[in-house]
Amino acid sequence: MVSKAIFLDRDGVINKSIMKDGKPHAPRKFSDFKLFPGVVEAIKNLSDAGYLIFVATNQPDIGNKLVDPNEVEKMHAYLMEKLPIKEIYMCPHRQDENCECRKPKPGMLFAAKNKFNIDMSASFMVGDRYSDVQTSLAAGCTPVFVDHDYLETPDFDVNMRFQSLVEASARILERLERK
């Protein structure tokens, strides 16, 4: 059976990023890991509508030795406990390692596609960085941009641009109802 999926970036979509000089950074301690309001219900609604839910996250602070991998594991265990997530895909590599899993390359999304028989044309990638949009396009799914007005974000066109995952999920569900 072919499935449809929602791929979610982690930091800035599900949980709050730590802002430094207008640039978002992943929390480095579990105690700093805070979900955005409404994301639990929004993700549950997407799952209840028949979407498989995945997290696809770059975590270069692991490869850069700036965060203890056990802290990241606590964050991911918390997400798996609280949310109907099928699987979390994580790239722990440094930015300069040129791996196949680091967004904007679509490796994490293709790993889920192959494992769970996902129809990418019926799927969405929700992210808050331009690299998430690039990943979505490279994987063949619809990009959904959560715009936090970061200083680093280039100007680009995307049809689905929202202020939060809550708003994005409502629009995705509206589109589903119209079909």
Q: Which residues are catalytic, by number?
A: 9, 11
86 backbone φψ class: left, alpha, beta (φ>0; ψ -120 to 50) = alpha
- Select from 153, 139, 151 the least CA-distant residue to 110: 139
Residue closest to 11 by CA, chosen among 31, 30, 35: 35
What one-letter code names the amino acid at 177? E
Residues of 66-75 as b/e, b for ≥16 C-beta within 10 angstroms? ebeeebbeeb
Is cis: bond before 37, omega within 30 of 0? no
- Cα–Cα distances in angstroms (integers) from residue 79 to residues 72, 73, 131, 143, in the given order: 11, 10, 22, 22
* DSSP assigned state of 128: S
47's enclosing H/E stretch is helix 39-48
